[in-house]
Structure formats: C-alpha cells, structure tokens
C-alpha cells in the first residue's frame, strides 16, 4: 500500500471554536481546511463521526453507519432558510473552551426539530426529492437506525434490551406497529442524517479539492446499545433475550491489575465469514464515503482478542481467542479492491500480528511519547525515530494520550533525561514543556516515517487542559475546543517551514 510522504493534524470537528457550544461543520471547519492547505499539510485525521452514546464517546456510538447530528452547522441551516435569526439568538451561554454535552444536546436537538418543521413547510419538490433520494440510497442502514433512535427516545433512552420485548427481539408484527406509531420521529431522524451527510460531504469535497485527504477511524468493535447489534443480533454472541454472553476487553497488565472490561459484544466471526464478511464490506463502503484513509483501531484484535464472560465484573478471567486473521483482509480486498488502511498496532504486538499486518500490506503506527522510557538501556526500541521504516505513521501522541507538553512535565526524571539526550541536551538545558512539544513535532516531521500526524494541542503547546480523552474515566472526556485566533500567523509560518524543510510538502516551482 503506497502513501505519499506527508504531514497532517489530528483534530475532531467537535473541537472547532464557535458560538453554539460545540464545533460544527460550518465556517470554522472551512478555515481549518484552509490552514491545512496554507501550511502544506496533506492529512486531516478525525475521530469517528458517528452519533455518540455512553459518555459522549465517538468510540461508543449508536451506529457504525450514521453521522453525529450535533456536528450540523446552524449557520449553514440559516443560510438555507431552515433556521431564523431568532432561532440562533435563542441559545444558552455555552462555555467556549469545552463542550457541555448535556446542554448542547438539549438545545441543538430542539433547534433541529424547528429546522425540520420549517423544511416540511417550505421545502419545494426539489428539496423533498433530494431527501427521498438520500433515504433510498441509505435504506439498508437508515431504516433501522431511524427506528432505533425513535424507539430509544420513546423508551426513555434505555438500552434496547429493555424495550418492549417484541420490538427488542425484532418480531415482524412489533416492528410494523412501532414503525407506524413512531412515523414522525423516524422521519425526523432521517432528515437530520440527510443534513449531516450533506454538510460533511461538502466539507470533504472542499478538503479534497485542496489536496487534503481525511483519515478516519473504524473502531474494531461496536457498542452493545447500538442499531448495529439490534439490527444484526445473529452476528454477535447474544443469548435468546438479546443479552451478550461474552464481551471484549484486554487482559491484566502493568497498568491495570484487573485488565479492562470494555463491554462491547463480540462478533461471531465464523457466521460473518459465511457471506464473505458482507456486514464489514458495507461498513468499509460507508466509511470510505466519509473519509479517504481508514485507521483501523485495535488492529491486533483481528488476529486474537481478549474474550471475557459477560457476567464477570473484571477482565481477569478472560482468554485469548483467535480472530479472522489475514483471511479477513484478503476477503475485503477481493470484494472492494485494495483500500488505504493504517493499522493501529500499538501495545503488546505479537509476531502473528506483525505477520498479519505485513501480509495485508498495511502501514503501522509509532507514538513518540512511548519511545523514551527505556532509551538509555535499549536504543533498539521500535518507537525511537532512528528505528522507523518508511511504511510508518508517526504521532507525537494520540487522542488517548495526554498532551506532549503535559506528558513531559509529569514524566519521571529518567524519561526527561532520555528525551533531552535524544533531542541534544546541551542545547536544551532550560527547555519548557511547550518547547519540548514543538521539538517532538519537528522530530516526527524529520523522521523517515512516510506520514507524520500530530494533535493540534501539541502544535499549540498546550498542557493537560487540552487532553481529549483519559481512558478508563467515565465522564469529562472529548470536550476540548481550541480558541478563535489559535491558528496564528506565527504557527502557520513555523509549520509550513518544517513541512517544506523535511519534504512533507514540495511547493510548485
């Protein structure tokens, strides 16, 4: 799989500034794309665009196919006469540095309801025909997703296994009855998906026309409380009542003596394989409509995954179970052709996982924050830049790490000494944590890794206040937003300079 030598920024759309409590797909998104182009970047990496569920996490979504309606731009709807000035003025006093998800959800969903009422009143035949075409083109997932979301609301937001039994177990007469009963909420759900896809695909086209490719995540597992599991119970290990029998996690390690009990239902890979992984084929088709390159999260789980009995309170009593392996990727390629995929191969990676990645022709990842704990004793650490191979995507940190400035500030004396030695400590005696972050960005850009991507927080030199996610913390994640004016001319000039200097962008002569 071939990629151009390039650089880019990791930033989720929720982090854009703006007056409506959460970043959206309006003017600030286009300004960010302009910033990428002006600094020679070729990549914009995002988190999953799916509708967020538990804990507001994009990795615990209500659907692997739908879009997050909270990203819909009110200003674009106003320009289309689907919202009024009064609608936009009537908003809470949202904080501008973080997303207050509860307040945003309440206000924005009511706003979208007003937009829907205006669409029904004013949309001409052309507008209604476009919505009908969208519904038809996406019917395979949209019909059940819209019913799922409408039914969830009708049942007070509880998980689908606590709904009316006939609906939960998808008995045909119950499905028909609920579709009729919830026809209006179902239509609303389809409408807001139509808006999301319209706005996102316009933004993606704008980025692509400026030479920028979008990198998007596919989490290997889906949330139990999702339209995916409810619509396809035969593809997951569930009992006769729809409850999971085994769930995903990771085993105990140095960081967690009880392991991590993720709770995602596990796939019946043998069932999926019988139709050549048709559900996954559709999932890949859907994501490649939204992004250009896929980062496959928890790649190692395709080789083997940690299976935990659902009744266990921790992940201690799990076991390793073989996944579909290289056959999965060969089957996907046979159906879709070779697709651009990055393997998230972090953590404890076995030779079998490496073999699967190489057999599938995928690039792997390296995170600079992971490189320096053992530098003094092991200069062969694969996370050190002098050990990279070109078929690598290097990051300073990911959405799960603390910012690089905060990581350095809280590192042990040994780790700090390793970092300074690698960066040439004779020149860095009085270096500050933000300066370390910028040096690490430069180190990533100078490396032989074919692709270099850094969180915007590290370009801004932010401390832990800029952290996006703390794994294992149930709430308070995913909310960081940058401030208007943060993409300064000074930052623009510096980033462009190192991008050209290290041949991640070659200006036209």
Report the catalytic residues. Answer: 297, 344, 400
* Residues β-bridged to residue 480: 98
Element holding 500 (H helix, E strand)? helix 489-501
Angular region, 508: left φ>0, alpha ψ -120 to 50, beta rest: beta
Q: CA nearest 502: which of 341, 394, 422?
A: 394
Per-position DSSP letters for 44-102, written without gaps between them: EE----SPB-GGG-TTSBS-SSS--GGG--HHHHHHTTSS-HHHHHS-----SSB--HH
Element holding 343 (H helix, E strand)? strand 341-343
Q: Residues 111, 65, 391, CA angle at the centre, nearest 5°? A: 120
Element holding 437 (H helix, E strand)? helix 433-446
**Greatest CA span in the chain, whole angstroms?**
75
CA distance 26 to 248: 37
CA distance 232 to 229: 5
Contacts of 357 (CB under 8 A, 6+ apart): 299, 343, 345, 364
Per-residue tokens: 255: 């960081």
Whether 193 and 33 have beta carbons less than 8 Å apart is answered as no
Upper half-sphere CA count for residue 334 (Cβ side, 13 Å):
10
Contacts of 110 (CB under 8 A, 6+ apart): none
Q: CA nearest 398: which of 64, 11, 4, 49?
A: 11
CA distance 128 to 92: 32
């Amino acid at each position: 799989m071939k990629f151009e030598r390039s650089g880019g920024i990791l930033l989720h759309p929720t982090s854009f500034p703006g007056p409506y409590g959460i970043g959206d797909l309006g003017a600030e998104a286009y300004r960010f794309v302009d910033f990428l182009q002006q600094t020679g970047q070729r990549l914009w990496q995002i988190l999953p665009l799916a509708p967020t569920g538990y804990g507001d996490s994009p990795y615990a979504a209500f659907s692997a196919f739908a879009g997050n309606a909270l990203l819909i731009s009110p200003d674009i709807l106003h320009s289309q006469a689907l919202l009024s000035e009064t609608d936009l003025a009537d908003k809470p006093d949202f904080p501008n540095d973080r997303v207050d998800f509860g307040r945003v959800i309440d206000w924005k969903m009511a706003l979208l309801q007003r937009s829907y009422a205006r669409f029904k009143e004013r949309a001409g035949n052309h507008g209604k025909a476009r919505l009908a075409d969208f519904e038809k083109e996406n019917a395979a997932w949209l019909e059940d997703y819209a019913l799922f979301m409408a039914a969830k609301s009708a049942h007070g937001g509880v998980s689908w296994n606590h709904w009316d039994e006939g609906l939960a177990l998808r008995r045909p007469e119950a499905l028909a009855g609920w579709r009729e009963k919830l026809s209006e909420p179902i239509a609303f759900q389809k409408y807001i998906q139509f808006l999301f896809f319209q706005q996102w695909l316009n933004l993606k086209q704008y980025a692509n026309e400026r030479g920028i490719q979008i990198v998007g995540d596919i989490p290997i597992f889906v949330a139990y409380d999702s339209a995916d599991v409810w619509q396809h119970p035969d593809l997951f290990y569930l009992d006769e009542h729809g409850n999971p029998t085994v769930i995903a996690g990771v085993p105990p390690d140095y960081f967690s003596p009880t392991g991590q009990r993720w709770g995602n239902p596990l796939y019946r890979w043998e069932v999926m394989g019988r139709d050549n992984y048709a559900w996954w084929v559709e999932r890949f088709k859907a994501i490649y409509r939204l992004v250009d390159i896929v980062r496959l999260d928890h790649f190692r789980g395709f080789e083997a995954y940690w299976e935990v009995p659902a009744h266990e309170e921790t992940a201690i009593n799990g076991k390793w179970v073989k996944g579909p392996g290289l056959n999965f990727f060969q089957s996907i390629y046979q159906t879709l052709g070779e697709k651009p995929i990055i393997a998230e191969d972090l953590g404890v990676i076995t030779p079998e996982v490496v073999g699967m990645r190489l057999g599938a022709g995928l690039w792997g990842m390296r995170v600079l924050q992971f490189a320096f704990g053992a530098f003094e004793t092991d200069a062969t650490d694969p996370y050190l830049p002098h050990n990279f191979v070109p078929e690598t995507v290097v990051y300073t940190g990911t959405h799960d790490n603390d910012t690089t400035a905060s990581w350095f500030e809280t590192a042990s004396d040994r780790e700090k000494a390793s970092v300074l030695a690698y960066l040439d400590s004779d020149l860095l005696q009085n270096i500050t944590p933000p300066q370390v972050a910028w040096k690490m960005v430069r180190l990533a850009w100078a490396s032989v890794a074919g692709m270099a991507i850094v969180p915007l927080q590290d370009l801004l030199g932010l401390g832990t206040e800029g952290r996006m996610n703390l794994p294992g913390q149930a709430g308070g994640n995913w909310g960081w937003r940058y401030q208007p004016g943060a993409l300064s001319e000074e930052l623009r000039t510096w980033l462009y300079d190192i991008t050209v200097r290290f041949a991640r962008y070659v200006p036209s002569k």
